Amino acid sequence: MFTENDIVKEVPPADGASVRHYVLLMAGGSGLRAGGGVPKQMRPLNGVPMLVYSIRAFRKENVSSKIILVLNDSCLDDWKRIQMEFPETEGVEVCSGGVDRLGSVKNGLKYIRETYDAPGNVFVSVHDAARPMVDVELIRRGLETASRNGTAVPVVPEVNSLRECVQGHWQSADRANFRVVQTPQIFRFDILEEGYAAEMRPEFTDDASVCEAAGYKIALYDGSPENFKVTEPLDFVMAEAVLKAKADI
């Protein structure tokens, strides 16, 4: 999206001592592609609702980080039941999701602004609840990258061969030129807020594209292959296997 002529806004490194961290845990979707009736982020993986795994990982990074669950209103009763059964979810705040993911992030930012007035040295991790394999090491890498650059987006190399449609013809593309993007995508609050204040465009598929359009360079950090998004029915089987293996380590 950037061209050579675009102006990139300068972002000085954060003052580490006073940084505050908010997490927008994105669970506002209906998750219909995954099947099963209940939104996928509420469904159990090895007996634990999917979204609880992300809460555990962010709590492990810092017990006092504010976690705001951006939730589809239809899931409130399910969430109350989860809170009774899983004490580690205590203190997680809830705000309503939007019609699409970008709308849900906007709602989350408004919630932070109205509840905490989000002053200067604040960082926001936007994380898909549909990525339950996120772990504390990955989150720490992201926070470190964001504190130096103002932005941080996890990526992994593409392992498949790729073909690209160029003027109506599919041709091979060099996969070394591509990276697969994951979450948590982490931004200084004011950068993310500025990005989301603009009109949303169809080509915005994630928070990075929104902030890039506002003139910010996106810093990348190493994601992990296991931090995949649970989308299709088969992903549930793979996620359960990965989570079990991680628990056994």
Cα maximum dimension of the chain: 55
Q: Least distance (Å) from ligand C5P to the CB of residue 97?
A: 4
Q: Least distance (Å) from ligand C5P to the CB of residue 69?
A: 9
Q: Least distance (Å) from ligand C5P to the CB of residue 41?
A: 5
Residue 117: is it exposed, middle or buried by C-beta count within 10 angstroms (0-12/13-18/19+)?
exposed
How far does Cα 226 stand from its chain's mean position?
Answer: 15
For the segment 35-64, give every residue that binds ligand C5P (CB under 6 A): 41
Q: Which lies closer to ligand C5P via its Cβ, residue 98 or residue 215?
A: 98
Q: How far is the C-alpha of 168 from the C-alpha of 20, rounded, in Å? A: 48
Contacting range for ligand C5P; rule: CB under 6 A; set: 61-69, 82-90, 127-135, 142-150: 127-135
For residue 205, give the nearest of 126, 108, 97 by alpha carbon.
Answer: 126
Contacts of 85 (CB under 8 A, 6+ apart): none
Side-chain-side CA neighbours of residue 165 (13 Å): 1
If binding is defined by CB under 6 A, does position 70 make contact with ligand C5P? yes
Q: Least distance (Å) from ligand C5P to the CB of residue 120?
A: 27
If binding is defined by CB under 6 A, does position 132 make contact with ligand C5P? no
Contacting range for ligand C5P; rule: CB under 6 A; set: 21-29, 54-62, 83-91, 159-167: 21-29
Number of chain positions touching ligand C5P (CB under 6 A)? 17
Its sign, for the CA torsion 84, 24, 185, 106, is positive
For the segment 189-218, give every residue that binds ligand C5P (CB under 6 A): none
If binding is defined by CB under 6 A, does position 129 make contact with ligand C5P? yes
If binding is defined by CB under 6 A, does position 181 make contact with ligand C5P? no
- In the three-class reduction of DSSP (H, G, I as helix; E, B as strand; rest coil), residue 181 is classed as strand
Alpha-carbon dihedral angle through residues 35, 36, 41, 43, given to the nearest 10 degrees: -150
Q: Least distance (Å) from ligand C5P to the CB of residue 164?
A: 22
What are the residues binding ligand C5P (CB under 6 A)?
26-29, 41, 70, 97-101, 104, 128-130, 229, 231
